Amino acid sequence: MRDVMLLLPEIGAVAAVLAVMLADLWLPKERKGTLSALAIAASVVLLALTFVPPVAQGGHAFGGSFLVDGMALLLKRAFCVTAFLVFLMSREYVAELPRGQGEFYTLGLAALTGMFLCASVNDFMSLFVSLELVTVSFFVLAAFKRDSKLSVEAGLKLLVIGSISAALLLYGIAFVYGATGTVMFGVLASDGSTFENGLRTQAAAGTLVLSPELQLGLFLIFLGLGFKTSAVPLHVWVPDVYQGAPTPVTAYLSVGSKLAGFALMFRLLEVVSRAAPVAAALTPFLALVAALTLFYGNLGAIPQTNIKRLLGYSSIGQCGYVLLGIAAASELGLAWALFYLCAYVVTNLTVFAVIIWVARATKSHDIDDYSGLARTNPLLGTALTVGLLSLAGVPPFIGLVGKFFLVGSAFQKGDTLRWLVYVGLANVVIALYYYLCVVKRIWMRDARTAVAPAVPLRMKVALAAGIVALIVGGIAPQFLDRVTASAAAGAGIVGTTAR
Partner 1 sequence: MDPLTLLVVVPLVAAGVVALAPARAEKAIRGVAIGAGGITLGIAAWLFRLALTEGSAGLAAFSAGIPRRAWVESVGITWSVSADGMTVAMVLLNALVLFTGCLVSSHAIRDRVKEFFVLFLALGAGVFGVFVVRDMFFMYFAFELAVVPMYLLIGCWGSPKDRDYAAMKLTLYLTAGALVALVGILMLYFRTWDFLGHPSFHLDDVIRAADAGRFDNGFQLTAFAFLFLGFAAIIPMWPMHTWSPIGHAAAPAAGSMMHAGVLMKLGSYAILRVAFPTCPAGAAHWLPWVAVIAMANIVYGGYVAMAQKDIKYVIGFSSSSHMGYTLLGIASVTVMGVSGAVFLMFAHGVMTALCFGLIGFFYDQTHTRKIEDLGGLAHQMPFVGTCFAIATMASAGVPGFANFVSEFMVMLGAWEAGYTVQAVIAVFGVVITAVYLLRALANVFFRARKERWDALADARGPFQRAPFVVLIGVLLFFGFWPRPLTRVIEAGVEPLVAKVQAAQAALDVGSADDGAHRGEDR
Of the candidates 135, 42, 36, 134, the residue with the CA atom closest to the CA atom of residue 87: 36
- Measured CA to CA, the distance from residue 249 to residue 255 in angstroms comes to 10
304 binds partner 1 (CB under 8 A): no
Site for partner 1 in 447-486 (CB under 8 A): 476-478, 481-482, 485
- Measured CA to CA, the distance from residue 383 to residue 464 in angstroms comes to 7
Q: How far is CA 299 from CA 6, 117, 325, 458, in A?
A: 44, 34, 21, 36
Using the rule CB under 8 A, which residue among 425, 454, 461, 465 binds partner 1? Answer: 425
416 binds partner 1 (CB under 8 A): no
Of the candidates 175, 212, 181, the residue with the CA atom closest to the CA atom of residue 194: 181
Using the rule CB under 8 A, which residue among 378, 454, 458, 465 binds partner 1? Answer: 378
Q: Supply the minimum distance, in Å, between the C-beta of residue 481 and partner 1.
A: 5
103 binds partner 1 (CB under 8 A): no
Q: How many residues bind partner 1 (CB under 8 A)?
A: 35
DSSP per position, 197-263: HHEEEETTTTEEEE-HHHHHHHHHHHHHHHHHHT-TTTTTTHHHHHHHS-HHHHHHIIIIIHHHHHH
434 binds partner 1 (CB under 8 A): no
The answer to whether residues 332 and 324 touch, using CB atoms and an 8 Å cutoff, is no
Q: Supply the minimum distance, in Å, between the C-beta of residue 17 and partner 1.
A: 38
31 binds partner 1 (CB under 8 A): no
- Measured CA to CA, the distance from residue 349 to residue 86 in angstroms comes to 7
The answer to whether residues 248 and 93 touch, using CB atoms and an 8 Å cutoff, is yes
Provide, for the chain, the percentages of residues in helix, strand and coil under a 3-state DSSP scheme, each rounded to the nearest 5: 80, 5, 20
Site string for partner 1, 305-334 (x = CB under 8 A): ---------------------------x--
- Measured CA to CA, the distance from residue 74 to residue 264 in angstroms comes to 14
Using the rule CB under 8 A, which residue among 13, 16, 374, 447 binds partner 1? Answer: 374
210 binds partner 1 (CB under 8 A): no
Site for partner 1 in 391-410 (CB under 8 A): 394-396, 400-401, 404-405, 407-408
Q: Supply the minimum distance, in Å, between the C-beta of residue 304 and partner 1.
A: 17
Span from 25-33, 73-81, 286-294, 432-440 in contact with partner 1 (CB under 8 A): 432-440
The contact set with partner 1 (CB under 8 A) reads 332, 335, 374, 378, 389, 394-396, 400-401, 404-405, 407-408, 411-412, 421-422, 425-426, 428-429, 432-433, 436, 439-440, 443-444, 476-478, 481-482, 485
